[in-house]
A and B are shown apart, each in its own frame.
Chain A
Amino acid sequence: MSSLAGVPSLVAAQEAAEHAAEGGAVNLGELIMHHLADSHEIELPFFLGVLHLPTGWNVNLGPLGVVDFAPTKHVVFMLLAAVLCLLVFIPLAGKARRLEPGKAPAGVGGGMEAMILYFRDEIVRKNISHGADAYVPYILTLFFFILFMNLLGLVPWGSSATGNVSVTMALALCTLALVELSGMQALGVKGYLHTIFFVPEGMPALGAAPITLLLAPVEFVGKLTKPFALTIRLFANMMAGHVLIFALGGLVVTMGAIGAGTVAGGIGATALATFVMVLEVVVAFLQAGIFALLTSVFVGLIRHAH
């Protein structure tokens, strides 16, 4: 663990040292930003150099202007996470299909299955009571996709796409779409409109109308704040962890640069970075779980709004 954990901080430290050797002042903040921000370059493992991604996949979207759809670093790591999901779960499905009826399941797949069944029983079924099973594939895909993206940021030379606000916003928008469409499907158009235009019961129309009009913007904004909170929560958690790890790695170099470097200080900073790294593994699972949990909570809420 410690050797793995140490590597990203070492990468940061090495680059800072290179900067220092070139005679430039060590700008740690700039360095961290460079590592967190999306770019068209990917640092290859084992110091194999830098992979330059293509640019200029320009598409003219008319009124929206010209947009460059060329894959960036975060797109690559997102695709990697998606491929990892496929590589883990499709063989698992094959194994599940081949299992003979009278035989007990065995092997590593059981661990994944335990997580899958936990999500089905404790997250989806508990929050969306009837018709819950239709949402299980969505929630499972969401959880494992986010989890793999989170974990890829902890691998040496890795980068987590969930540390990018565009990615988390896209996922939150998918959740928004799922929630609102589930609401329409469960409540019907009239029932769904009532979730925006709240009509208090047992009041004369003259009294109810102002309340409805007054509450409509509140209800509408309420719908948008949920995905907004999801976006910021996941993005901020992932980014903060990376900033912390890089900052602790950079601390060694900074201390050296200002002449305050000691062996004990270096070891202390590295140990602290290792600890934060372990914490980040927990956070990676936790935030993926929270995203999936809240998505099912929102779906459950709107389906049972009366």
Chain B
Amino acid sequence: MMQTERSRGFSRVAWASALGSFALVLGPTALAAQEAAEAEGGNPLFTVNFALTIWTIVVFALLLVILKKFAWGQILDSAKAREDRIQNALDEAAKLQAEAAVLLEQHRAQLADARRQAQEIVNEGKTAGERVRKDIEEKARTEGQALIERARKEIEREKDSALDEIRKESVDLAMAVATRLIKEKLDPEKDRKLVVGYLEEIGRRDNSAAGGKRA
């Protein structure tokens, strides 16, 4: 910064005086060259013309000052402004792209998370369903088992009562037959006891036989 400040102050004074002083230094040399060439009758193409040199320096200096003030400044400034604008736009675009990339990454992560959660929910549902199914099956099986058991007990009971019935019937039947056969010879009460005792013995044998078969 200090450099440019100094250079500006330096150049303002220096440029004008420098061009002038160089022209003055040039003057005698140019004139001498011109006179020498003319004296020798040299080629006018290679002769330095002092006036023309001064004309050139003046025209060039004026052109430089005018163009610097009215042309180069604006043209270069507008080019600079445009470059800055384009650079800013590019920087902005790069920033936005980076942001978009971050957002995309976030979205991807969210999406993956959501997918994973959905999968979990489905899995949970599946296991819960499985459990429920197993429970129901188990229940049905035990209930069925209980039903079968009850039916079996019923059958057993029915069978026992049927057997008792048959026993009673057969006692009566046997009594009737025996009464008819040996009515006169025997005391009915004594005979009855005998027959009943005999039948009970048979019944016990039957019962033990039936129990062994069922097991």
B14-48: CB near A (< 8 Å → 1, else 0) gives: 11001100110011101100000000000111111
12 contacts between A and B (CB under 8 A): A69-B54, A75-B59, A78-B59, A79-B59, A113-B79, A116-B75, A137-B76, A141-B68, A165-B47, A166-B52, A169-B26, A174-B61
Cβ 8 A contact of B72, one of A137, A166, A180: A137
B67 touches A140 (CB 8 A): yes
9 nearest CB pairs, A to B: A170-B56, A96-B78, A89-B71, A93-B74, A166-B52, A137-B68, A93-B71, A137-B72, A170-B53
Query: Most chain-B Cβ atoms within 10 A of its Cβ — which of A69, A75, A93, A97?
Result: A93
Report how many residues on chain B are interfacial, defined by Cβ distance under 8 Å: 54
**Which among B6, B52, B53 has the highest number of chain A CB atoms within 10 Å?**
B52
The contact of B45 among A37, A138, A142, by CB within 8 Å, is: A37
CA distance A96 to B81 in the complex (A): 11
Please name all residues of chain A whose beta carbon is closer than 8 Å to the beta carbon of B64 when the two chains form the complex: 137-138, 141
- Given A78-B56, A131-B7, does the pair A86, B78 have CB atoms closer than 8 Å? no
Q: A64 an interface residue at 8 Å Cβ cutoff? A: yes
- B66 — nearest CB in chain A belongs to which residue? A86
Q: Which of A113, A166, A173, A176 has the most chain B CB atoms closer than 10 A to its own CB?
A: A166
A131 touches B3 (CB 8 A): yes
Q: Does B104 lie at the interface of the complex (its beta carbon under 8 Å from any beta carbon of A)?
A: no
- B57 closest partner in A (C-beta): A170
Q: Do B67 and A166 have beta carbons less than 8 Å apart?
A: no
- CB <8 Å contact, B55 and A185: no
Encode A267-283 as 1/0 by CB contact (under 8 A) with B: 00000000000000000
Q: How far is the CA of A105 from the CA of B43 in the complex (A)?
A: 51
How far is A177 from B81 in the complex, measured between Cα atoms in Å? 32
When distances are taken between beta carbons in the complex, the residues of chain A under 8 Å from B79 are: 96, 113, 116-117, 120
User: Which residue of A68, A96, A167 is within 8 Å of B56 (Cβ)?
Assistant: A167
Q: How many A-B residue pairs have CB under 8 A?
A: 166
In chain B, what residue has the closest Cβ to A105?
B82
Q: Is the contact region of chain B dominated by helix, strand, or loop, or is it mixed?
A: helix
Enumerate chain B residues within 8 angstroms of A136, measured Cβ to Cβ: 72, 76
B179 in the interface (beta carbon within 8 A): no
Chain B contacts for A295, CB-based, 8 A: none
Q: Does A193 contact B (CB under 8 A)?
A: no
**Contacting residues, chain A, for B53 (C-beta < 8 A):** 166-167, 169-170, 173
Q: Is A101 an interface residue, CB under 8 A from the partner?
A: yes
The answer, yes or no, to whether B127 is at the interface (CB within 8 Å) is no
Q: Is the CB of B31 within 8 A of A64?
A: yes
Known pairs A136-B76, A174-B57; list 9 more (Cβ under 8 Å).
A85-B63, A90-B71, A133-B76, A134-B4, A169-B48, A169-B53, A170-B54, A181-B14, A185-B14
User: Are B73 and A93 in touch, CB under 8 angstroms?
Assistant: yes
List, in ascending order, chain B residues with CB within 8 A of A166's CB.
Answer: 30, 47-50, 52-53, 56
Contacts of B51 in A (CB 8 A): 67-70, 72
CB-based nearest B residue for A32: B45
Let me know if A134 and B7 touch, CB within 8 A.
yes
Q: Which residues of B have CB within 8 Å of A133? A: 76
Q: How far is the CB of B87 from chain A (nearest CB, A)?
A: 14
Q: Which residues of A contact B45 (CB under 8 A)?
A: 33, 36-37, 164-165, 239
List residues of chain B with CB within 8 A of the CB of A120.
76, 79
**B 92-117 to A, binary, CB cutoff 8 A, 1 in contact else 0:** 00000000000000000000000000
Query: B85 at the A/B interface (Cβ < 8 Å)?
Result: yes
Q: Does A99 contact B (CB under 8 A)?
A: yes
Tell me the complex Cα distance, A93–B70, Å: 7
Is A92 located at the chain interface by the 8 A CB criterion?
A: yes
A141→B67 contact, CB < 8 A: yes
